[in-house]
Amino acid sequence: MKNTYKLALCLAILAFIAVFQIACKEDDLANNGEPSITYIRVTNPASSDSLLVGAFQNNLIAIVGENLQDVREIWFNDQKAVLTPTYVTSKSILVSVPAMVPKEINNIMKMIFANGRTLEHKFEVQINEPELLSMNCEYVPEGSVATINGNYFYPPLTVTFAGGVTGELVSVEDQIIQVRVPKGAVAGQLTVKTTFGETKSDFWFRDSRNIFLGNDPFVGWWNQAYVVTKPGAGDPVAINGNYIRVKEAISGWQWKEVAGGPPDAMGPISKNIPDAAILRPADYNLKFEVNTLKPYNNNLLKINVGLANDFLTDAYQWAPPYDTKGVWRTVTIPFEDVAASYESLGIRMSVSPNGYYTRLLFHGGGDLDADISLDNFRVVPKILKK
């Protein structure tokens, strides 16, 4: 009996000690164990003192506070964020703001914990205005459908062409707009407007700037026979006056010049490349339109542009494969890539008031059964001043 009493007394003491220790631990916890948010900041260590009251979609943020380890859900407005357990600790949580646009906006971030507790914090999801990156083809006739590529295309939206006319929307996705080109659309920037802002394109629709090879009219030394002036049955439609069509077999390493010439043969068009593009090629793009009725799948198209003193055989090489399947597409090449191809051969571009040498030369390995059309070779700015 005495031993039983001693055992009971020991158990009672141990239970008391355990309760006392638990109580002490809870007292030691910050905020008495209740979850709290001290601040939200960016995740870049170099900018760790940059505190946030809002962030754009997809931005990674750091939530800093106390007792956060048991979080199970985080909501921004009515959109649930994706939680990664390894990014959750008692002191901080790394989480990306959801990409989806909220249907109901209250600018509240809500955290839900394992025990059902919730914690709310004022935080604004800043919805991106439209981002316009490119068009499948920058030359599209009235009544046809143009495709605009970018981001944050959230309906309702409008597409306004230069000339102040609005296109008919055919379809809208987050990254693609298809719009019918309206009557009255002219060369210039596009504007896309959503509830969250509007953006003008850096590229131009029907870009008429700085064309150094367009065949309107034909100029140069080589192959006027390749210029299509009145498209007939089986020819691609014209998108901007005359264009070049090469429809023949070109054998490997055959020398086939299809367009171009020195400045005195090309005339005033040879001076259309801006001085700034020669001096700062990284600020510019080389663009042109292509239509392939047969795949461009062999050989090489060597392009001379911006050369002040002479032609260069192994100039910039636009390499296959490329196949538009019978429709016009805009090709964009960073102009610094062209400059680098020259510099690798010891030639550095320089400004020439007299104009520049131009050449399109098929010359490379592999036989090509060519049926390729080309138009509107131009050097244009990547970014337009707002």
**Residue 368: closest CA among 291, 299, 310:** 299
Higher pLDDT: 85 or 47? It is 85
Predicted confidence at residue 332, as pLDDT, reads 98
Confidence of residue 4 (pLDDT cuts 50, 70, 90): very low
- Asked whether 178 and 158 are in contact (CB, 8 A), the reply is no
**Where does the pLDDT of residue 12 fall: very low under 50, low under 70, confident under 90, or very high at 90 and above?**
very low
Instruction: Quick: pLDDT tens for 118-166.
Output: 999 999 999 999 999 999 999 999 999 999 999 999 999 999 999 999 9
Neighbours of 4 (CB within 10 A): 8
Contact 220/330 with Cβ under 8 angstroms?
no
Instruction: Note the Cα 214 to chain centre separation in Å.
Output: 27
Q: pLDDT tens, 43-77?
A: 987 666 789 999 999 999 999 999 999 999 999 99
Please tell me the predicted confidence (pLDDT) of residue 222: 97
Please check whether residue 252 is in contact with residue 299, taking contact to mean a CB–CB distance below 8 angstroms. Answer: yes
Non-local (6+) Cβ contacts of 64 within 8 A are 37, 38, 39, 40, 41, 91, 92
Residue 153 near residue 179 (C-beta atoms within 8 A): no
- Show Cβ contacts of residue 319 under 8 Å, excluding neighbours closer than 6 positions: 300, 301, 364
Each residue of 289-301: pLDDT tens digit?
999 999 999 999 9
Residue 32 has pLDDT above 90, yes or no: no
Position 386 confidence tier, pLDDT thresholds 50, 70, 90: low
Q: Work out the pLDDT band at 15, boundaries 50, 70, 90.
A: very low
* 168 token code pair: 């008919």
79: pLDDT confidence band, cut at 50, 70 and 90?
Answer: very high
349-367 per-residue burial string, b: 16 or more CB within 10 A, e: under 16: beebeebbbbbbbbbbeee
CA dist 281 to 301, 312, 332, 379, Å? Answer: 21, 18, 14, 9
Residue 262 has pLDDT above 90, yes or no: yes
Residue among 332, 240, 318 at smallest CA distance from 288 = 332
Using one digit for the tens of pLDDT, what is the confidence trace for 306-353?
999 999 999 899 999 999 999 999 999 999 999 999 999 999 999 999
Amino acid letter, 243: Y
Token code pair at residue 124 = 């604004």
Cis peptide before 156 (omega within 30 of 0): yes
Q: Confidence class of residue 13 from pLDDT cuts 50, 70 and 90?
A: very low
Model confidence at 7: pLDDT above 60: no
Write down the residue that tokens 């914690």 correspond to: 119
Per-residue pLDDT, 30: 74
Q: Report the run of H or E that residue 146 belongs to, with start and end.
A: strand 145-151
CA 87/CA 331 separation, integer angstroms: 42
Rounded average pLDDT over 166-185: 97
